[in-house]
Amino acid sequence: MESTGVYWIPAYEVLEGHGFEVILVNARYAKNVPGRKTDVSDAAWLQRLHSYGLLRGSFRPEAGVATMRAYLRQRERLIEYAASHIQHMQKALMEMNVQLHHVVSDITGVTGMRIIRAVVSGERTPSTLAQMRDVRCHATIETICAALSGNWRDEHIFALGQSLALFDFYQTKVLECDRKLEAALKALEIDEGYDVRHLPKVRTKRRQVNTPDFEVRSALYRVLGVDLT
């Protein structure tokens, strides 16, 4: 079967589900079709090359691992969508001359989100907003207060609120992916024999940004071939 876009996926999965051993072929390995090129001639040419043993199958993991990879890739797309709304929040803050990004390393951190949510809820006093500083924030209350003296125009507040709502929406969808990943991982352990208890421990001491909120070992990342971060 030729791997063209995503059109091969439903046919592949149906055939695999019925016990067929399907070989997925990269199109560049079979592009030199003699004569007029049609779908029928392509299929016949692939069959002929395969009968001569000239085709190499592309990597396609087993069904359980493929399920994990699908959830991981969906999760990655959701994180990308959420990142665009972080940029929109940053833009709205800049338009209000609120220099929050100068006093916190990440506006989606604890301090940043507390302040943004308070602004959207109607709080405008810089000193009150600065009191929402998390104890782990390196900036002082005075520094944060000076950065929050903005121009609170209604259209900018509106844009900030919408971007925040969309960011929160995608965060809930990421959590749904985490639940699916957790269930798929447990099924993989039971059905395929992967035992995460015997995998090496994660080398990083701190939890990385955007990693799932359940325990997954780094060695299993290598089994799946996908970077969760």
Each residue of 6-65: pLDDT tens digit? 888 888 888 888 888 888 887 776 666 666 677 787 778 888 888 888 888 778 877 788
Are residues 18 and 71 located together in one domain of the fold? Answer: no
Summarised one tens digit per residue, pLDDT across range 125-166 is: 999 999 999 988 888 999 999 999 888 999 999 999 999 999
Task: Please calculate the CA angle 136-142-147 and round it to the nearest 5 degrees.
Answer: 90
Residue 164 domain flag: no
Residue 125 lies in a domain: no
Within a domain: 219? yes
Please indicate, yes or no, if residue 129 is contained in any of the structural domains: no
What domain count does the chain have?
Answer: 2
Domain presence at residue 203: yes
pTM over 0.85: no
Looking at the structure, tell me whether residues 72 and 26 fall in a common domain: no
Q: Fill in the DSSP letter of residue 23.
A: -
In a domain, 153, yes or no: no
Q: Are residues 30 and 76 both part of a single domain?
A: no
Give the residue carrying structure tokens 């015997």.
Answer: 198
* Side-chain-side CA neighbours of residue 28 (13 Å): 1
Domain presence at residue 227: yes
Question: Which residues constitute the domain of residue 192?
Answer: 63-89+171-229
Residue 117 exposure: Cα atoms within 13 Å on the Cβ side? 12
The answer to the question of residue 151 being in a domain is no
